[in-house]
Structure formats: structure tokens, C-alpha cells
């Protein structure tokens, strides 16, 4: 068959191999082409993993055999790299093995082939085994062909002239396999980096420990739903992986946000203890004043009561969910109450900074702290842009850094608008908001039930802030349900 196999065909195969990204398809292509070249009855590709050869794929057209291919023989025990197996010998010796009749040869141990024949009523006769050697001289597997045939389908030895063309094909295969492995190693390293970074964020802040993992869970379940129910919208495996990577990395910028801001559970945070100490000192000073001068005792007691009441108000508002105008005005009055410090100076009960913190209407962060917290997306973008994301992964930094953008332009940090925000980011924003609303590990608020959280999201959609179509699909998918 070699005469009919042109150099142009080999070039076509080489181009096809370089373009094929799926390793299973690639090995199927190689094996089928080798069978065509040699006009043989069957063949198998083995892939080397350390000291074993694993069945990867096989084709056979023999009577009584079922045609099988790609991955269906992976459950068969691997072939150990020892001299009891011909395929192992080819790998160990780095040489082609061409046997005219395995039953008449005493050069190698063919007990395995004979046992297989007895089990299946087959007769293995001629055999050609070619090691898959890449451009660095590494043997990455073996190509085994069985029972070459003439035009009348009589079994014949594998012609010597077929060996070179099949070896060339095997070399192309080996290089392709090595390149795929290197690419996979790079991708595995990237995934490992992602896991390390997320673990670092989670370990650093117990209040954020489950956020990223929850979002990845929502995203995976949603994409599975889309694949099963909206085929026209489904992503390729690589597109799915790149999107999930942006979800994993969306909060990486939080590594540089001060913990006193990121984990701030109350309005005052650590300032509460300073105020408490100030109140204690002030009350002791008033008590001493009354003891020293009985005529001032009543006045001192009134001052102590006033300071204590003010501190009780401050403590109550420190953890309150929402502060109406009435409470904010009361806090401003309380802040002005004069107190005596440890050096006998008269000072206001609260500093300007403390007053700003305690009068935050909703949440725990001041405007300055909120700006600091929001900067995590800027740092996310900067950090990820320093990495070499290419191809289908090129959008990961941009997607991850844009998860707080809103389609009406009111988001941050770049105030992007609808046409500037990809669908991946729109979905990322929705699951980020949903998890923030329903999270059970936030110290500054209780979790919302899902129905109430979707009410908030639908209001945001009504306001033109998030994508209503994607929100509807997310709700419909059930991907938000806790698993």
C-alpha cells in the first residue's frame, strides 16, 4: 500500500495532527491512518506513563471482534515495561519490531498474544510494533499493528517498505503527544496557581472563606444546565475552563486589602475599644471629682449617667443594620459630650473619625473604607495582567476585574456600560451579588433567603443594572440552590 501513499498525504496528516487539540481524536487519527497504510487487520496505541504502557485506543475488523476506539480499553490493566511483552520491548530497546509470524518466532515472548487469541478465537500472525519517539528522543508510547493483508485479504508479513512511512507517522504522533502534554502541564500549573491563590484569600479572611467556592459551584451548575437545555448557548470545554478561571480569580485583589477593612464586622471596628476606654477613664474622673468635693457629687453623677447613656447608644448603633436620621442626629449630639481624658484634658466623646464611622447609614464601611474595598477589582486586574493569559484564556483578567461593573454604567471601577460588558461578566456579577446577599458567613448582616435575594436582583434588573435575561436563566436553572 506504500506506493499509493504520497508525501502530500503525509503533509496533510501532519497539518491535521497539529490542528487537533483533542488527544483522543489525535490518536484515533494516527491509528486509523497507520491501518490504512499497512492494510492490516487491527492496531493498538499504547501511551507510556512512567513504567507502564496503557491501552489508549484500538481498532480491529477481525471476524468476531467488535470495532472499538478511543478510551474504551482504558479499563484493561496496563502493560508493565518488562521483556515479557513485545510492545514493552520496543519501548525499552527504542527499536521497531517486525515479526512475520508470532507463533513461529522464539525471539520474544508472545504468550500474551496467544492467550488473547484463545479467548477470542482469533489468530495473530504478523506484527509490527513501532515506538513513539518524540523530537527529544523520549519514548512516549508504542504503535502496535497486527496481521497485514494483501489485496485478497490474505495475512502477510508487514512489508519493510511500510516501516519508514509508518515510523514517520509515529514520529508526528509522538511530537504531537509531547506538545499536548506540555500544554497540559502549563494548564495544570495555572490551575494549581489559581487554587493556591484562592486558598490564600480564604485563609486570610474567614469571613470570605466560602465566597469564591460558592460562586464556582453556581457557575458550574449553571453552565451544565445551559448545555443540557440551551444547546445554542453552550460553551466549549476551553471556554468553560477560561470562564471558571475568571470566577476563581475574581477576588484575588483582596490579598492586598487591609484586613481591618475587609473583615470589618461593625461600624467602629477596633475603634470601639478605644471609645470604651475613654468612657471608663471619663467616668472614673467624674467619680473622683465627686469624692474630692461632695458639693460636685450630684453633678458628677449626672455626667456619668450622660456619658454611660451615650456609650450605650453608640454600642447599639455599632451593630444596627440601618440608621435612620433620628439615630444619626442623636449620635452627633452624643459625640459632642465633653469628657476628661487621662491627662485631665477636656475632649469630645468621639473624634471626627469615630463619628464618621458610627454614622454610616447602612453597612459597616465609611466612604473612605468602601473606596479601599472597591479597589480590590483594580488590583485584581493589575495582578492578572502580569500573567501571560493567551488564546481562549486572554479574557480572564478583564472578566475577573469587571465583576462590579453594571450595565447602566453605575458600577466600578471603569463605569462600563452594556455594550462594553461581555455576557460572561454579566453572569459573574449576578452570582457575586447573589452570594453576597445569601452568604451565611458575613459578620455584618444575616443571610437573605433565596426568594428575597432574587427580589433584590430583580429590582436591580428593573433599574437597568444587571442583565434580566441572564438573571431569568440563572433563576430557572436552579444552579443557585445550595448543594
Q: Could you give phi then psi for residue 42, rounded to 5 degrees?
A: -160, 165
Nearest residue to 470 (alpha-carbon basis) of 222, 248, 212, 246? 222
Domain 205-258+372-477 part of CATH 3.40.605.10: no
Query: Would you call 9 helix, strand, or coil by DSSP?
Result: helix
DSSP output for 450-477: HHHHHHHHHHHHHTTSS-HHHHHHHHHH
DSSP for residue 208: G
pTM here is: 0.71
Count the alpha carbons within 13 Å of 370 in the hemisphere toward its beta carbon: 11
Per-residue pLDDT at 325 exceeds 60: yes
466-480 residue pLDDT tens: 999 999 999 999 999
Same fold, 2-181 and 205-258+372-477: no
16-20, 281-285, 311-315, 327-331: least confident range: 16-20
Q: Give the three-state DSSP class for 78.
A: coil
User: Looking at per-residue confidence, does 187 or 216 come out higher?
Assistant: 216
Kindly list the distances between the CA atom of residue 218 and the CA atoms of 78, 102, 410, in Å, as whole numbers in the listed order. 38, 57, 25
Q: Give the pLDDT mean for 99-108.
A: 90
The H or E element that residue 79 is part of is: strand 79-80
Q: Output the average pLDDT for the chain.
A: 88
Domain boundaries, the chain: 2-181, 205-258+372-477, 266-363
C-alpha cell at 465: 443594572
- The pLDDT tens digits for 165-203 are 888 888 888 887 888 788 788 888 888 888 888 888 777
pLDDT over 70 at 62, yes or no: no
Rounded CA-CA distance 454/348 in Å is 44
Identify the bridge partners of residue 297 per DSSP, sorted by sequence position. Answer: none
Highest CATH level, class, for 2-181 = alpha beta
Amino acid at each position: 500500500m506504500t506506493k499509493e501513499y504520497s508525501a502530500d498525504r503525509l503533509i496533510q496528516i501532519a497539518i491535521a495532527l497539529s490542528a487537533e487539540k483533542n488527544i483522543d481524536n489525535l490518536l484515533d487519527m494516527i491509528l486509523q491512518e497507520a491501518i490504512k497504510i499497512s492494510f492490516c487487520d487491527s492496531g493498538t496505541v499504547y501511551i507510556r506513563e512512567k513504567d507502564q504502557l496503557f491501552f489508549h485506543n484500538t481498532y480491529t475488523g477481525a471476524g468476531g471482534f467488535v470495532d472499538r476506539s478511543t478510551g474504551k480499553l482504558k479499563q484493561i490493566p496496563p502493560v508493565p515495561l518488562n521483556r515479557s511483552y513485545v510492545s514493552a520491548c520496543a519501548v525499552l530497546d527504542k527499536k521497531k519490531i517486525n515479526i512475520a509470524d508470532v507463533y513461529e518466532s522464539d525471539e520474544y515472548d508472545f504468550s500474551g498474544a496467544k492467550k488473547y487469541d484463545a479467548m477470542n478465537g482469533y489468530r495473530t500472525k504478523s506484527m509490527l510494533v513501532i515506538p513513539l519517539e518524540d523530537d527529544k528522543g523520549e519514548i512516549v508510547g508504542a504503535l502496535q499493528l497486527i496481521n497485514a493483508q494483501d489485496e485478497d485479504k490474505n495475512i502477510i508479513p508487514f512489508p519493510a517498505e511500510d516501516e519508514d512511512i509508518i515510523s514517520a507517522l509515529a514520529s508526528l504522533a509522538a511530537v504531537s503527544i509531547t506538545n499536548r502534554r506540555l500544554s497540559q502541564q502549563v494548564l495544570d500549573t495555572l490551575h494549581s496557581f489559581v487554587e493556591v491563590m484562592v486558598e490564600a484569600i480564604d485563609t486570610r479572611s474567614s469571613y470570605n472563606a466560602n465566597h469564591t467556592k460558592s460562586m464556582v459551584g453556581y457557575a458550574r451548575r449553571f453552565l451544565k444546565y445551559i448545555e443540557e437545555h440551551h444547546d445554542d448557548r453552550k460553551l466549549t470545554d476551553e471556554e468553560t475552563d477560561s470562564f471558571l478561571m475568571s470566577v476563581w480569580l475574581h477576588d484575588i485583589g483582596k490579598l492586598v486589602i487591609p484586613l481591618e477593612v475587609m473583615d470589618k464586622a461593625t461600624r467602629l471596628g477596633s475603634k470601639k475599644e478605644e471609645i470604651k476606654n475613654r468612657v471608663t477613664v471619663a467616668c472614673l474622673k467624674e467619680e473622683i471629682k465627686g469624692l474630692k468635693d461632695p458639693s460636685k457629687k450630684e453633678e458628677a453623677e449626672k455626667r456619668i449617667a450622660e456619658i454611660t447613656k451615650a456609650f450605650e447608644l453608640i454600642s447599639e448603633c455599632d451593630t444596627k443594620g440601618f440608621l435612620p436620621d433620628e439615630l444619626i442626629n442623636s449620635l452627633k449630639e452624643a459625640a459632642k459630650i465633653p469628657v476628661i481624658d487621662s491627662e485631665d484634658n477636656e475632649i469630645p466623646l468621639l473624634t471626627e473619625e469615630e463619628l464618621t464611622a458610627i454614622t454610616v447609614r447602612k453597612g459597616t464601611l465609611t466612604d473612605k473604607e468602601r473606596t479601599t474595598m472597591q479597589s480590590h477589582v483594580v488590583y485584581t486586574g493589575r495582578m492578572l495582567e502580569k500573567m501571560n493569559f493567551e488564546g481562549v484564556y486572554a479574557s480572564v483578567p478583564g472578566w475577573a476585574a469587571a465583576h462590579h461593573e453594571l450595565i447602566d454604567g453605575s458600577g466600578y471601577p471603569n463605569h462600563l456600560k452594556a455594550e462594553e460588558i461581555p455576557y460572561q461578566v454579566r453572569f459573574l456579577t449576578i452570582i457575586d451579588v447573589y452570594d453576597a446577599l445569601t452568604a451565611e458567613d458575613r459578620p455584618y448582616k444575616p443571610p437573605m433567603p433565596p426568594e428575597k435575594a432574587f427580589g433584590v436582583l430583580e429590582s436591580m434588573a428593573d433599574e437597568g443594572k444587571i442583565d434580566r435575561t441572564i438573571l431569568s436563566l440563572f433563576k430557572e436553572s436552579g444552579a443557585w440552590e445550595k448543594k
